[in-house]
Amino acid sequence: MAETTTTTTTTRHPLIGEVKGIIRTDEGVTPHQGVRQYLGIQYATLKDRFAPAVLREYDGKTSVDATTIGPQTAPLPEGAEHEQDLIQHRLSSTGPIEFSDTEALNLNITYPVPTNREDFVWQSDNLLPVFLFVHGGGFQVGSASFPQYDMARFVRLSYQKGRPIIAVTVNYRLGPPGLLNSREMREEGYLANNCLRDQRVAIEWVRKFIGGFGGDSENITLAGESAGAISCSYHLQSKVPLFRRVMLMSGTNLLIPPLPLEVAEQSFASAVKALGLEEKSVGERMERLRSIDAADLRGKLMMIPMLPVVDDELPVAGHSFADFHAGTSGGTVDIAGAKWCESMMIGDCAFDGNIQGLRLAHRKKGIGKAFCDAVKSSSLNPEQAETLLKGYDMTPDLDEETAFERVLQTLNDIGFYAPTLAFAEGLRSRMKTYVYRFNEPNPWAGPWQGRTNHILDIAFFLQNFNEFLDDAQRSTAEAFAVSVFKFVTGEVPWKASRNEGHGKVAMVMGPQGKGEVVEDVPGETGRRAILLDLAEEVEGGMDRLGEVLNAFLRGPPAS
């Protein structure tokens, strides 16, 4: 790994004041190919762990030290390593990442250093497009401070490729502080969906202050992966324009629809019981929720379902597959952002569904028989159930590992593949839509070696694992990044070799460094047609199939 040289630098921001950051240059790289970073800048303040985020303001005379990463919002010191284990390869450790209940709403800014002048600032007539990234982690884990989300190499490559950008990564509240809510909490001034509201405040901060760092506040691409992409799909529902482009990587609100308020109420009641607060007054309950140790709070509420909830104010609403289908209600889904968002890039990994293995690991024993029984006893008729099971070669007597993988394949197709098709179909008539299919296999030892597992695309296109890839894999990583640079700068990310324009085509990336634009159908993209074909025969289509498969994922009813 090339040695990195770090020096400090100071920028005079017109609205903030003096901001101290760092310049990073890798060994063998000339100064004009380095990057400048401002790390851990607090974008919002919090009165307590559940309070609404308040945009950080400045008097223009502030002195901000942005030379080191900020704390994370989840009390998981080894969270970065645990996430890298999902990728199946660890980066060099920088040590445990600090946690804070109220000081962790921070962001990181990375942009290219075009000269060796430390005082250089991009001029107002030459502002750079902004790539604003929201990390994933199921709204439970993750951090912009993790090294796998370091934007230094990504941004440096953008300059080398002649399409310089500024990248911003943001932290937001996770777990109970980000998701726990109830009528009782709202009456006490605690709003729903802190996780999404934090992101909204971060977008507001970027729009207000990024110009002083050389970024164009009117040229923002909001991007996210997994739960971050789900978040982006919710922000696309805003009636107020927030960004110019959006990039959804392996996630939509069809994967995690918002909970109805009554379900959130049940989760809150379960949380109160788990914490032994049933007999306490409202004030006493809230004080305990605010003061209990963060790790203890997280541990005691770990098994209680908490997700974004329906929220008319943000707004946050759920959709069905039918809403996106071209054959329904005029063929367009009611998403406000389709009126103000210029374009969308959306895609998946061939085996994103492996991530659901985390939820099913404790059910692995006998999972083949359990899955067959669940499908046969579902609302599908016997013939449809048999078609689904045969399509995935599922039988009750399969060995445990084979059955587990095939269950995950079905969950992949309903949770990740089918939604990207639906989103593209429902929105391409109103915004430029570019679809990718990531097929480069995982090269590292582990259960998913040789498979294109969840979050592998991030490991590739941010360039942070390049030393551990072969030439063909690095070629895919670089080509993916260049496609993103083109998208962020308003160019066409790839030209169709068939059906020129924005028809139903997709860029297939990998394997072995290959890249080709093909018709976005299973036979061309390396995906399965089973659920797509069955949805044409089942009343309720993909939504009915989703109900069947998600019911199995949630588990059998409590006895």
Please state, in angstroms and rounded to a whole number, the distance separating the CA atoms of residues 384 and 503. 31
* Band of residue 557 on the pLDDT scale cut at 50, 70, 90: low
Decide if 226 is catalytic: yes
Is it the case that residue 230 has pLDDT exceeding 90?
yes
Q: What are phi and psi of 427, to 5 degrees?
A: -115, -15
Is it the case that residue 140 has pLDDT exceeding 70?
yes
pLDDT at 331: 52
Strands 62-65 and 17-26 turn out to be parallel
Please state, in angstroms and rounded to a whole number, the distance separating the CA atoms of residues 88 and 74. 22
Provide the CA 321 distance to its chain's centre, in angstroms: 20
The pLDDT > 90 percentage for the chain reads 87
Is it the case that residue 406 has pLDDT exceeding 80?
yes
Please state, in angstroms and rounded to a whole number, the distance separating the CA atoms of residues 271 and 421. 37
Mean of all residue pLDDT scores within the chain = 92
pLDDT at 4: 75
Is it the case that residue 94 has pLDDT exceeding 50?
yes
- Count each helix (H run) and each strand (E run) in the chain, helices first: 20, 15
* Band of residue 62 on the pLDDT scale cut at 50, 70, 90: confident
Mean pLDDT along residues 373-396: 97
**Residue with more model confidence, 323 or 3:** 323
pLDDT at 498: 41
**Residue with more model confidence, 117 or 401:** 401
Helix axes 541-554, 400-412, angle to 10 degrees: 140
**Residue with more model confidence, 82 or 25:** 82
362's enclosing H/E stretch is none
CA distances from 227 to 6, 126, 548 (A): 32, 33, 22
How much is the CA Rg of the chain, to the nearest whole Å? Answer: 23
Q: Side-chain half-sphere of 422: how many Cα atoms within 13 Å?
A: 29
Please give the model's pTM, rounded to 2 decimal places: 0.95
pLDDT at 34: 85
pLDDT at 26: 73
Residues 426-485: tens digit of each pLDDT: 998 889 999 999 999 999 999 999 999 999 999 999 999 999 999 999 999 999 999 999
Mean pLDDT along residues 126-155: 96
pLDDT at 115: 45
pLDDT at 326: 58
Is it the case that residue 120 has pLDDT exceeding 50?
no
Secondary structure class of 545 (helix, strand, coil): helix
Please state, in angstroms and rounded to a whole number, the distance separating the CA atoms of residues 114 and 36. 10
Residue of 152, 206, 146, 203 whose CA lies nearest to 23: 152
The pLDDT > 70 percentage for the chain reads 93
Secondary structure class of 9 (helix, strand, coil): strand
pLDDT at 397: 96
Mean pLDDT along residues 257-265: 95
Q: Which domains does the chain show, CATH number per domain?
A: 4-259+311-361+411-525 (3.40.50.1820)
Residues 329-365: tens digit of each pLDDT: 445 688 999 999 999 999 999 999 999 999 999 999 9
- Tell me which amino acid residue 382 is: P
Please state, in angstroms and rounded to a whole number, the distance separating the CA atoms of residues 206 and 132. 9
* Band of residue 116 on the pLDDT scale cut at 50, 70, 90: very low
Mean pLDDT along residues 28-49: 85
For 49-53, 115-119, 418-422, which range has the lowest pLDDT when averaged over its residues?
A: 115-119
422 and 541 in contact (C-beta within 8 Å)? no
Contacts of 525 (CB under 8 A, 6+ apart): 437, 439, 506, 508, 518
Catalytic residue among 158, 182, 226, 233: 226
* Band of residue 25 on the pLDDT scale cut at 50, 70, 90: confident
